[in-house]
A and B are shown apart, each in its own frame.
Chain A
Amino acid sequence: MIVASNLSKRYPGGYEAVQDVSFEISAGQMVFITGHSGAGKTTLVKLIASIERPTAGSLVVNGQNLSALRRSAIPYVRRHLGMVFQDQKLLFDRSALDNVLLPLQIVGMPRRESIRRAQAALDKVGLLAREKARPIALSGGEQQRLAIARAVVNRPTVLLADEPTGNLDADSATDILEIFADFHRVGVTVVVATHDQNWIERYHPNVLRLDHGRLL
């Protein structure tokens, strides 16, 4: 599903965030990327989401070699990924439902069908009752659940999250983790970057541990 070989990312200015990393994540696996802050977790997530481009090595996601990808092909790769960001990146000028509808509008799904799908996604994260609420009226944990609903509404094969519990209290963080575990159980490949050790002790997932850009 995700295969990295000798993957490196050097930012302009010479800082090498990821150095010579190789790993393989197969379909349906749940994998955690851990490490201290600045170890390269976020860069690795950005490489998988083709937000950043590798400077050396190769990265294949869903059979697509991302280092050789044309710029115009990137949107279509991202549609098969569900992305959850630490800062959610929700749109505050529209309702929860409209936030979840955005990925479906992007692929041009008819309105009626997309509303049904978006409501199902909201239901899955326990927010159906709040579909008309603006994100500003939601708690931190609810906002993160809304972000997950938006990430999964397109039924992606890979769910990718960068520090999804970074700003949450322990209870909300556990809720979020449960949701990820649910998606893993129905066969979605889940990749989560986190420095939260509790997760690892509780779920014993496969772990990629990074230190100064290198895999330990």
Chain B
Amino acid sequence: MKAWFAQHQAALASAFHRLWSTPLNTLLSLLVIGIALTLPGAGYVLLDNLRDLGRNASGVQQISLFMNLDASKKDVGDIESRLRSAGAGKWKFVPKEEALKRMQKSEGMAEIVASLPRNPLPDAFIIEPANTEPEALEVMRKEIAGWPKVAHVQLDSAWVKRFDAFLKLGKLALWMLGGIFAAGLVAVTFNTIRLQVLAQAAEIEVARMIGATDGFIRRPFYYFGALQGGLGGLLAAALVAGAVGLLGGPVGDLATLYGGSFALNGPSLLDALVLASAGAVLGWLGAQLSVSLSLRKFD
């Protein structure tokens, strides 16, 4: 156990040493890996911000139910019990008298309302559904529309659907992009490690002769690949955070011009960790492939 630990420690130290002793190569490899991971990383942050934007936009997840004008108190009670048994979530009943009062309070509407011979507004329910999935909202809208004395059910579902489809498409594109760049990262690591194995052919041969196991010979390369990938991932997170920092101000200004407030969120610590781990895992994979192929000729 102690020997095992010492060997891993030595392999890690040797990987660090190799990174450190060729600074230019290391810098170039890290840049390639960092930039390769920046694109999917930036895409992820963009989608994340868009999703936040969609979640914050008000009214999206509400269903408005308007009763017929001739609906009685009993009909209203009937709808209320149906909502309850359907487990529709939270709702608020807005009687037509209250709706009229609200309208009177609006600027310039008081005179118009006063001139009306009778209240033209219907009783209404404003429902906040428990399940806000676009599909579920659509199902609920259809069901409610079929209930007696319901004149109209309104759901801004087209917008929700389009936005959702857009996010789905973005996510798919992001996965594809991520896959391509992951392959690139594996290839970069593969090549770096192959060159290292060639440069250390003498050491590998001697170590084999005097009783080194495959694990002993491979370990430093694995650590090297993982370290290089992990550091590349951190670099990518830093690049994305830098870009968001630069874009944050102008985006805020733009949002203010449209009368809203929206702050661009950079990658979180967790996102940076995810990028670094993804880089490390891919680097390890590239090292594994490379070492397995390069060491064959030593057998």
Complex-state Cα separation, A19 to B207, whole angstroms = 30
From A85, A107, A108, residue with most partner B Cβ within 10 Å: A108
Instruction: Indicate if A27 sits at the interface (CB-CB under 8 A).
Output: no
Instruction: Indicate if A106 sits at the interface (CB-CB under 8 A).
Output: yes
Q: Which residues of B contact A75 (CB under 8 A)?
A: 208, 211-213, 216
- Starting from the known contacts A106-B213, A108-B2, 18 additional A-B residue pairs (CB-CB under 8 Å) come to A72-B213, A75-B208, A75-B211, A78-B211, A79-B211, A83-B210, A90-B206, A91-B206, A92-B202, A105-B10, A106-B207, A106-B216, A108-B4, A108-B7, A109-B3, A110-B2, A150-B210, A151-B210
**B213–A108 CB distance below 8 A:** no
**B205–A89 CB distance below 8 A:** yes
Instruction: Indicate if B143 sits at the interface (CB-CB under 8 A).
Output: no
Pairs of residues from A and B, 8 with the lowest C-beta to C-beta distance, nearest first: A108-B3, A79-B211, A78-B211, A108-B7, A75-B213, A106-B212, A75-B211, A108-B6
> Which B residues between 118 and 165 are near A, CB-CB below 8 angstroms?
none
Q: What does the 1/0 interface line of B179-221 toward A look like (CB < 8 Å)?
A: 0000000000000000000000011011111111110100000
Complex-state Cα separation, A150 to B210, whole angstroms = 9
Q: Closest CB of chain B to A147's CB: distance in Å?
A: 10
Complex-state Cα separation, A110 to B10, whole angstroms = 10
Chain A residues with CB under 8 Å of chain B are 49, 51, 72, 75-79, 83, 85, 89-93, 102-103, 105-111, 150-151, 154
Q: Which residues of B contact A106 (CB under 8 A)?
A: 207, 210-213, 216
**B7–A102 CB distance below 8 A:** no
Q: Which residues of B contact A90 (CB under 8 A)?
A: 206
Chain B residues with CB under 8 Å of chain A are 2-4, 6-7, 10, 202-203, 205-214, 216
Complex-state Cα separation, A90 to B207, whole angstroms = 10
Complex-state Cα separation, A102 to B212, whole angstroms = 9
A-B contact pairs, 7 of them (CB 8 A): A51-B209, A75-B216, A77-B211, A103-B210, A103-B211, A106-B216, A108-B3
Q: Closest CB of chain B to A49's CB: distance in Å?
A: 8
Contact of B6 (CB < 8 Å), options: A51, A76, A85, A110: A110
Complex-state Cα separation, A1 to B207, whole angstroms = 24
Q: Which residues of B contact A111 (CB under 8 A)?
A: 6
Q: Which residues of A contact B213 (CB under 8 A)?
A: 72, 75, 106
Complex-state Cα separation, A83 to B210, whole angstroms = 7
Q: Which residue of B lies closest to A110 (CB)?
A: B6
**B2–A91 CB distance below 8 A:** no
Q: Which residues of A contact B216 (CB under 8 A)?
A: 75, 106
Q: Closest CB of chain B to A198's CB: distance in Å?
A: 28
Complex-state Cα separation, A49 to B211, whole angstroms = 10
Q: Which residue of A lies closest to B202 (CB)?
A: A91
Q: Which residue of B lies closest to A153 (CB)?
A: B210
Q: Which residue of A lies closest to B8 (CB)?
A: A108
Q: Closest CB of chain B to A126's CB: distance in Å?
A: 22
**A83–B209 CB distance below 8 A:** yes
Q: Closest CB of chain A to B232's CB: distance in Å?
A: 27
Complex-state Cα separation, A111 to B216, whole angstroms = 16
Contact of B203 (CB < 8 Å), options: A72, A76, A91, A107: A91
Q: Which residues of A contact B214 (CB under 8 A)?
A: 72
